[in-house]
Amino acid sequence: MLKIFTLLALSSLALFAADGEKALNINAVIMFFIFIVGTMGITKWAASKTKSASDFYTAGGGISGFQNGLAIAGDYMSAASFLGISGMIFLHGFDGMIYAIGFLVGWPIILFLMAEKLRNLGKFTFADIAAYRLGQKEIRTLAAFGSISVVILYLIAQMVGAGKLIQVLFGMEYEYAVFMVGALMIIYVTFGGMLATTWVQIIKAVLLLSGVSFMAVMVLYHFNFSFESLAVKAVENHSLGEAILSPGGFISDPISAISLGMALMLGTAGLPHVLMRFFTVGNAKEARKSVVYATGFVAYFWIIITIVGFGAIAFLNSAEGAQYFVDGKLFGGSNMASVHLSHMLGGNAFLGFISAVAFATILAVVSGLTLAGASAISHDIYANVINPNATDEKVVKISKITVVLVGIIGVTLGIAFESQNIAYMVGLAFGIAASANFPILFLSIYWSRLTTRGAFIGGFMGLITAVALVILGPNVWVQILGNEKAIFPYAHPALFSVTVAFVSIWFFSKIDTSDRAKHERELFRGQNVRANTGIGAAGAVSH
Amino acid sequence: MDKELVKRIKANPKYAELVSKRSSFAIKLAVFMLVIYYGFVLTIAFNREFFATKLSAESVMTVAWPIAVTIILIAFITTIIYVVKANGEFEDLEIAIKNDAKDLL
C-alpha cells in the first residue's frame, strides 16, 4: 500500500512541475502530504482491525455517539456544503442560505420519525429495513439502483470540487487532479473499510470546523465583530447590491421553491452514506445522541459559513481581491471563493491549511459514498440476491471490486461534468434520494399494507420520474445537451417525482391481493415490535 | 420475529404506552418542524418582499438573516428536546418491556 502511495505522490509531484499560470504553493503541498500520510496511517491501522463483513461495513458497531455525530456532520459538510454553499453565497447572497436551511431541517425529521427504527431494523444498508418483510430480490435491486444513482451524482459533485481545488493550487491539470482523488479514495476504502472511512471523516470534521471558525473570526475582526458592518461592505462590493441580503431570483416561482425544499428535506432521509452511519453505533440510544451532536455541528457550521460567504463578497470584490480574478471571473470558479478568501486572510500558510482541509473533506466524503455504493452492490445485490450462501470473505471481496469500479465511474463523470456548480449537483442527488429511497423506506416502516409489488413498481416509477425530469429539465436539456427550450420547465423535480412514488406505491400495494401480499402484511406486526423496542436488533447491546 | 414473543409484547400495556407516547411526541415535533420550514419556503415563494424588510431605518440588514439563524437554532433545539425524552423516559419503558419478556428473549 505504501508503495502505491509513494508512486502516486511522485507522479503527482511530477505533474505539479508542469505548471500553468499559477505558481505551486509549497505550504499547501506540505499540508496535503501531512494529511495524506496521516490518513494512510489510519487506514493501515483500520485494515488490521477489519476482519469480518460487519467490520468492513459498520466498523464493527463500535463507534460512540459523539464520534458518529462528528462523522455524520462530516458527511454533511461535504465539498458541496463548504465550497459550494460559500460559493453560492458569494454569487447570490442570501439564496445560498435556502440550501443550507433545507439541508439542516431534514435532520430533526429523520430523527423523530426514522433514526431509531432504522437502527432497530437494519444491519448494513437501508435496504435491510425495506427488505425486512418484503421480497429480498425485488426490494434490494430497487434500493441498490436508488443508492447507486444518488452515490454517483453526489460523487460527481465532490470530484468536480476536488479537481477545481487542486487546479487552483497547483496549476495541475483538472483531469489528473480528479484521478488522484479517485485513487486515494479507492485506497482508503478497500483497505480500511468503514473504520478508516469514519476516522478520516472525524479528523476532517474537526479540521474543517476549526478552519472555518478561524476564517469567520478573521473576517469579523476586520469589521469589529459587527455583522452589520460586514453586510454594509458586502452590499457595497457586490454587483447585486442590497439584493444579496434577501431571497433573490434563484428560486423564481412557488413550484420550484416547494420542489427544492422537498428534495433537500426528504432527500436527507434517503442518503445511503448517511443512513449507513446509524449502523456503526452500538444501539438506538447512541444513534439518537449522534444525531444531536451532528445537528449541533452542522447548525454551527451553517452559521459560520454565512460569515465566510459574506467575507468572500466583501474581501474578494475589492482592489486587493482583483488578483484572484481571471478575465472578470473568479479563478477556479465560484466554488473557490472560500479558498481565495483564506489566502487574503491568512496568507500562504492558511491557504495551505484550508486547501488541505477542503481536499480532506472531499476525500472523506467520497470514501463514505463509495463505501455506500459498494455495500449496495455487494451486500444488497450480491449477498442477498445473487449468492445468498456467499461467505463474508467473498462479499467483502466483491465490495472491494465495486469500490474500484465506482472510483473509475466517479473519475470519468467528474471529468465530464467539470463546469457544473457542485451545490446544484448535490441538490439533484437529494432529489433522487427523496424520490426513490425515502418513500420506500418511510412506507416500509409505517405502512402495514405495503407489499413488495407496490414498493417495487412505485419505487422504480419515482426513480425513473426523477431522473427523466432532470434530463428533460433546464439544467441538462438546455445547458448540457444544448437544446433551446426545456421540455420540463423546473430545475428541481422532487415535488412531482416524490408524489409519483408515493401515489404509485400506494396504488400498486392496494390492488395487490396475492397470497404473498397477505403474508407480507402479517409480518408487519413483528416488524413493528422490533422497530419500536429494538428486540432482536443486530448488534444491540443487551441490558 | 417469534410469534409468541410478538404476542406477549403486544399484550404488555407498557408497549402500548411506549408506542403511543413516543409517536405522538415525535409527530408533534415533526409537524412543528415542517410548519416552520414550509412557512419559510412558502414565504420565499409567495411573499419574497417580506424578507427584504429592513431591521431598522438606518440598518442594511434584512429580517431574512435573523429568521434564517432562528430556524437553524430551532432545528437544533427540537433535536435536543426529542433525544432527552427518548433517551430518558422512552428508553426506560423499553427496558421495562424487555425485562417483562426476558424468559422469551
Model confidence over B65-94: pLDDT tens digits? 999 999 999 999 999 999 999 999 999 999
Whole-angstrom Cα distance, residue A436 to residue A429? Answer: 11
Whole-angstrom Cα distance, residue B18 to residue B21? Answer: 5
Is residue A208 within 8 Å of residue A82, measured between CB atoms? Answer: yes
Q: Who among B22, B33, B99 is closest to A109 (CB)? A: B33
Cα nearest neighbour of B60 on chain A: A232
Q: What is the ipTM of this complex?
A: 0.92
pLDDT bin (cut points 50, 70, 90) of residue B58 is: confident
Determine the distance in angstroms separating the CA of B87 from the nearest CA of chain A, rounded to an integer: 6
Cα nearest neighbour of A286 on chain B: B87
So what's the pLDDT on residue A53?
A: 87
What contacts A111, CB < 8 A, 6 or more positions away?
A288, A291, A295, B79, B82, B83
Q: Who among B27, B41, B98 is closest to A535 (CB)? A: B98
Contact A254 B95 (CB under 8 A): no
Whole-angstrom distance between the N-terminal and C-terminal Cα of chain B? Answer: 11
A 279-318 near B (Cβ less than 8 A): 285, 288-289, 291-292, 295-296, 299, 302-303, 306
Is residue A312 within 8 Å of residue A337, measured between CB atoms? Answer: yes
- Type and span of the H or E element at A318: none
Cα nearest neighbour of A303 on chain B: B69
Q: Which residue has the cell 442518503?
A: A271
Determine the distance in angstroms separating the CA of A306 from the nearest CA of chain B, rounded to an integer: 10
Is residue A362 within 8 Å of residue A81, measured between CB atoms? Answer: no
So what's the pLDDT on residue A540?
A: 41
So what's the pLDDT on residue A250?
A: 67
Whole-angstrom Cα distance, residue A539 to residue A521? Answer: 26
**What is the DSSP secondary-structure string of A82-114?**
IIIIHHHHHHHTTHHHHHHHHHHHHHHHHIIII
**What is the DSSP secondary-structure string of A474-486?**
IIIIIIIT--SS-
Q: Is the dihedral of CA A140, A142, A145, A150 positive or negative?
A: negative
Cα nearest neighbour of A259 on chain B: B41
% of chain A exceeding 70 in pLDDT: 93
Closest CA to A370 of A394, A406, A321, A398: A406
Q: Which has the higher per-residue pLDDT, B96 or A7?
A: B96
| Residues shown for chain A | 543
A7 by DSSP, 3-state: which? helix
What contacts B73, CB < 8 A, 6 or more positions away?
A299
So what's the pLDDT on residue A14?
A: 45
Closest CA to A460 of A126, A134, A152, A139: A139
Average pLDDT of chain A is 86
Span A331-381, pLDDT tens digits: 878 888 999 999 999 988 898 888 888 888 888 888 889 989 999 999 899
Task: With a cut of 80, say whether residue A3 has pLDDT above it.
Answer: no
Whole-angstrom Cα distance, residue A371 to residue B72? Answer: 30
